[in-house]
Structure 1
Amino acid sequence: SIQEVGGYVLIAMNEATNIPLVNLKLIRGQNLYEGQYALLVMSNYNRNHSSATLNYTGGLRQLQLSSLTEILKGGVKMTHNPLLCNTETIQWWDILDKASNPSMLFKTDTFARNCDKCDPGCVNGSCWAAGPDQCQRFTKLQCAEQCSRRCRGPRPSDCCNEHCAAGCTGPKATDCL
């Protein structure tokens, strides 16, 4: 039920297959990990050490951040998540604030993953996991040029109020998410 985080989100050293933060809309980044990251996903796997070859027996496969539309300050770091799927499809510049000069660090493991594809209805093929409810929600890259910040669709009438973070349901300040 978490919708907003004031500092940073750290997801690390988990063996769970998914972390369902489906209601998280906004990471403010008032405090940053290592002084630069607002979202970190690191070392989420269980490796079978008795095997001579790489054999991951469990770990994070899905982030399920389908409501995340804004990181106000800070960047993203994703490392050592050999089973994690679909993060390469996310259009991070729709979520991040370029003006804050965010750091981006992605180290993709070469382990062969069996990932489900994004739902065909997902815009730009961008999703957090398989299924129509896991498509990335665009609030910046798909806006009309008249919009000053965020939007809820491609038409000029879809522009959000300039004070809205994370999107809106209409044009007024009271319509901010």
Structure 2
Amino acid sequence: MVLRSPFPDAETPDASVYEFLFDDIDERDLERTAFTAASSGSSISYRELLRRIDEIASSLTARGIGAGDVVGVLCPNTPAFGAEFHGILRAGATATTINVLSTASEIVKQLADAGAKLLYTFGPLAERAEEAGVEAGLVDEAILLGDGDGGSAANRILAQPGRKPQVSVEPATHLEALPL
């Protein structure tokens, strides 16, 4: 039995999530706060967020990660999470967000089910993430640790300044987020 909403079907924009959110951001809005960490109050501007997104995306594409690839994100809702999540999308890959309360075996299951090739996490979750990454078959270098707040060691490790990646996806059919 197929159930239909009484409302009209939603229209899919002819743009990736990154393009839809950031392509026409106004210059005067770049200094506005994009994310604030509730735990510490640290924040980043849209200008800094976009710089980090581009660095992460450039690094992922340099590593051969792109459309059809899945990257896990095991990180609380922080400015680093926002940059990592959108950097994955900017590279054309799919982000699978993992609940920070997940056990190592639950993380392994999600990584395996999603077919993840890489896992981002941050310090306090590192031990659980490393255990899960090894069991899921991810090499140690794939587990990139950040501080979980405004700046991320993962961002610094992955930083690839230079050209912005030129990624082409079909927005109507491309899977950008895979929360399990």
Tell whether the structures are fold-level matches, with TM greater than 0.5: no
Higher relative CO (Cα under 8 Å, sequence separation at least 6) belongs to 2
Q: TM-score, normalised by structure 2?
A: 0.23
Q: TM-score, normalised by structure 1?
A: 0.23
**Structure with the larger helix share:** 2
